[in-house]
Each structure stands twice: as structure tokens, then as C-alpha cells.
Structure 1
């Protein structure tokens, strides 16, 4: 009977050791993946910050926006010009011709204050 008990506990110890080792390996892999993701984010942020100057040489702030036409209405995009931030109920047809032309190319606004000022001026 002692031989069976020793064998049973040996197998139990071996299985427990394998489970602990497997958990440790998967935990270390998860940590490595998180570090790699964090490094990728940092590199992306660094590359964005190096590109933060406009053609005129002025600095571009973090909260810069572009206004463009989307389905006949004014849409607000983030500073990359492709990520939609917000849609408005401001119809492009109700704007002056000059502003309509500018919207086709995109109107750059360098702050949230400028954005809200524009929307306030042209909303009814």
C-alpha cells in the first residue's frame, strides 16, 4: 500500500510541476507580448511627434482637426485627416461658396477652440 501511495504522490507532484511550469511559460510569453506592444506604441508616438510640423513650419498641436464634406454635411476629422471624429448637422449647401471650396480640400483647425468657433459661426 505504501508503494501505491508513493507512486500516487509522485505522479501528483509531477503533474503539479508541469502545470506550474506551463503557467510560468505562458505568463512570460504574455509579458513579452505586452512589452512588444508597448514598444510599438512608443515608436509610433515618436514617429508621430517627429512629423508634427506643417508645411509652413509651424507646430501642430495634439488637438488639431480637419473639416471636410461627408454626404453633404460638415464632418470633423482628427489631425491625420482620415479618422472621423464627429459628424455635424451643418449642411454644406448652407455655407458660403468659398467655405464649400475649402471643405473639398479640408479646412485645418489647430485647436478645439478654432473648431468650436467655426461650428458656432456657421450653425443656425
Structure 2
């Protein structure tokens, strides 16, 4: 008697993952597409607070994010996902911080990874 992948157990008694098949009996796969998006670029010439945000396109999900800095001496305060509604799912990424005076031109750009 053949035991299906769904019912098989390994030696430790743990369930093995079931193999998924399409209607024709062929193994199936889920396609996940991830894209990177860049937000507005905040610029300072002589120090100050900077904020950059970027949203995922409608119908996609935030999977991660970060920021890109060009310049010297920038102090990151936050780099985090944000949501449109308190307690709701993340819809984008936000990065902010402070550039001390005297370091010249600095730019900050938020980056988000979105999956569909």
C-alpha cells in the first residue's frame, strides 16, 4: 500500500510537507515576483532633518526595505515599514534622520521591496 506524501512521516514522527500537483498530476509552483522601488530623494546642502518615503504599488506586499545615502555623516533615526491605517498591513517604507551641519551635500532615498 502506497502512502501519499501528505500522510508520510519521517523517523522523528514529524510530518513531511505535501507535494502539490496541478489537475494533470504535474508538480505545480507558485510564482512570486519581487521588485525594488525608490522613493523621493531628500537633499540637504548644510545639515538638517531628512525624510524619504516610498509606497508599494496597489496589489503588492511589502517584503523589506531600507535606504540609500550619498554623502558623509548622516545619522539614521528610523528605517521601517509604514501602514496607511493604524494596525493595517505595511504599504511602503520610510527612512529618516539628521545630517549635522558642515558635511556638505547629502541625499537620502528610501527603498522598498514589493512582491506580487
TM-score (normalised: structure 2): 0.21
Q: Larger Cα Rg: Structure 1 or Structure 2?
A: 1
- Greater per-residue strand proportion: 2
